[in-house]
Amino acid sequence: TILKQHQLLDYFTEIITNPTLVDNGQLRIFPYHDFRLSPHGCTRCPTNMCKGMILEHIQVEADEKGKKTFIYLGDGGGDYCPSLRLRKDDQVMPRKGFPLWDRIQSNPSLVQANVHEWSSAEELERILTHLISGVLIDGDNPNCTSSSPSLTETSAQNTIVPTVE
């Protein structure tokens, strides 16, 4: 509903999150990876979801379609695992002063992707717009067009950065 409210839903092909169900008026949240059947085996991630495994699945699908570059935005500790699975031509955008940024700063050589830190909605918009323009200019996806409302217009106080939850 947040994406729909800000007219951003059409910019996403898929939203990956823990499944939920309303049961007798209570919201029940289930793990994305059912660890009772098959644990995902990642020691960096919580048992309910490994974002790194999810990113690898998305990378395989993108590779099959000839898409080459990923831009990953995050701020939490759970975004570290997928950041480590990004490749040298990818971009990772950690929010400065938050757990992902701290973990990357503690050992930057572990991250192959180019790191672009950000602190505010304005800075995020500027960097992300620049990165998207670079991807389009480099011919990564000639059929792709970039058009979105300004982050500062859609949210004066809050930065809305959808991530895999």
Residue 2 has pLDDT above 70, yes or no: yes
> What average pLDDT does the segment 30-51 reach?
78
pLDDT value for 35: 66
- Compute how many other C-beta atoms are within 10 angstroms of the C-beta atom of residue 22: 8
pLDDT value for 139: 52
Please, are residues 154 and 39 in contact by the beta-carbon 8 Å criterion? no
pLDDT value for 1: 67
Per-residue confidence band for 142, with pLDDT thresholds at 50, 70 and 90: very low
Residue 101 has pLDDT above 60, yes or no: yes
Please, are residues 50 and 81 in contact by the beta-carbon 8 Å criterion? yes
Residue 164 has pLDDT above 50, yes or no: no
What domains are defined for the chain? Answer: 39-154 (3.40.50)
- The tokens describing 51, both together, are 């974002």
CA 81 to chain CA mean position, Å: 11
Phi-psi region of 25 (alpha: psi -120 to 50; beta: other; left: phi over 0): left
What does the alpha-carbon distance between residue 104 and residue 102 come to, in Å, rounded to a whole number? 6
> What average pLDDT does the segment 81-103 reach?
97
Residue 62: which residues within 8 A CB-CB, separation 6 or more?
Answer: 68, 70
- Residue 75 annotated as binding site: yes
